[in-house]
């Protein structure tokens, strides 16, 4: 795809895409090293000094994700604020979208789908769950990392539990996110948007009508 194509519209800036992929890198590291500690069949990976490596990997994951958030905050604070506003604003059409979504994702039947903004309701839900669980995971994770021995055992124990629950929620959502981006037969364009930053005008008008109207007022 060529950027100077009149048919293409920029939807994600370079910083936004960078933030996405840095997040992805850190998240993958956290997901795997976390799973090693969580699931007994994988716990062979955390035994003895090999476990130090796995646990170090989990901390590096934290630093990478924190770096991603920091990059966004420093280099594109307006974009970040706008995305946060979008994901926390829920309208009636979002509930309508959720009701119509199964028919669309299984049958390609899109007549019931309301016009969408820059993120559709599904993308918004994933982003929202990611942000919310990130806050929970960071808070409980820091308690377990730095608070061991100085916080009360009860607080530590609850942190372990909340960390588990938040991790399960984001893992389930991430699997759906991954599937829609890479495997779903009808969802090729969103991946292009996150790789190259732009989308065909036609696609935008069709799938993100509200955003299209914002960009190109009639």
Q: Using CB under 8 A as the criterion, which residues of the chain lie in contact with another protein when the complex forms? A: 37-40, 43, 46-52, 54-56, 59, 105-108, 145-146, 148-149, 153, 156-158, 160-161, 164-165, 167-169, 171-172, 175-176, 179, 183-186, 189, 200, 202-203, 206
For residues 144, 164, 63, 71, the Cα torsion angle rounded to the nearest 10 degrees is -130
Least Cβ distance, residue 193 to another protein (angstroms)? 13
Least Cβ distance, residue 84 to another protein (angstroms)? 26
Least Cβ distance, residue 96 to another protein (angstroms)? 20
User: Which CB atom, from 26 or from 83, has the smaller least distance to another protein?
Assistant: 26
User: Which CB atom, from 99 or from 184, has the smaller least distance to another protein?
Assistant: 184
Phi/psi of residue 7, nearest 5 degrees: -80, -5
- Residue pair 55/46 in contact (Cβ under 8 Å)? The answer is yes
User: Which CB atom, from 73 or from 160, has the smaller least distance to another protein?
Assistant: 160
User: Which CB atom, from 86 or from 164, has the smaller least distance to another protein?
Assistant: 164
Query: Which residue, among 131, 120, 132, 67, has the nearest Cα to 96 in the 3D structure?
Result: 120
- Residue pair 197/17 in contact (Cβ under 8 Å)? The answer is yes
Phi/psi of residue 120, nearest 5 degrees: -80, 170
């Amino acid at each position: 795809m060529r950027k100077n194509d009149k048919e293409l519209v920029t939807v994600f800036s370079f910083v936004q895409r960078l933030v996405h992929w840095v997040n992805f890198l850190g998240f993958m590291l956290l997901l795997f090293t976390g799973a090693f500690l969580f699931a007994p069949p994988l716990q062979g990976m955390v035994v003895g000094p090999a476990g130090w490596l796995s646990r170090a990997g989990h901390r590096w994951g934290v630093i990478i994700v924190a770096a991603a958030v920091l990059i966004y905050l420093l280099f594109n604070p307006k974009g970040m604020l706008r995305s946060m506003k979008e994901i926390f604003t829920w309208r009636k059409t979002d509930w309508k979208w959720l009701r119509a979504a199964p028919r669309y994702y299984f049958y390609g039947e899109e007549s019931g789908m309301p016009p969408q903004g820059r993120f559709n309701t599904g993308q918004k839900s994933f982003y929202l769950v990611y942000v919310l669980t990130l806050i929970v995971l960071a808070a409980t994770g820091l308690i377990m990392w730095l608070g061991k021995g100085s916080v009360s055992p009860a607080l530590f124990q609850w942190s372990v539990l909340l960390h588990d629950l938040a991790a399960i929620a984001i893992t389930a959502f991430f699997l759906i996110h991954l599937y829609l981006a890479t495997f779903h037969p009808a969802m090729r364009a969103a991946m292009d948007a996150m790789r190259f930053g732009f989308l065909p005008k036609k696609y935008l008008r069709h799938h993100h009508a509200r955003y299209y109207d914002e960009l190109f007022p009639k």
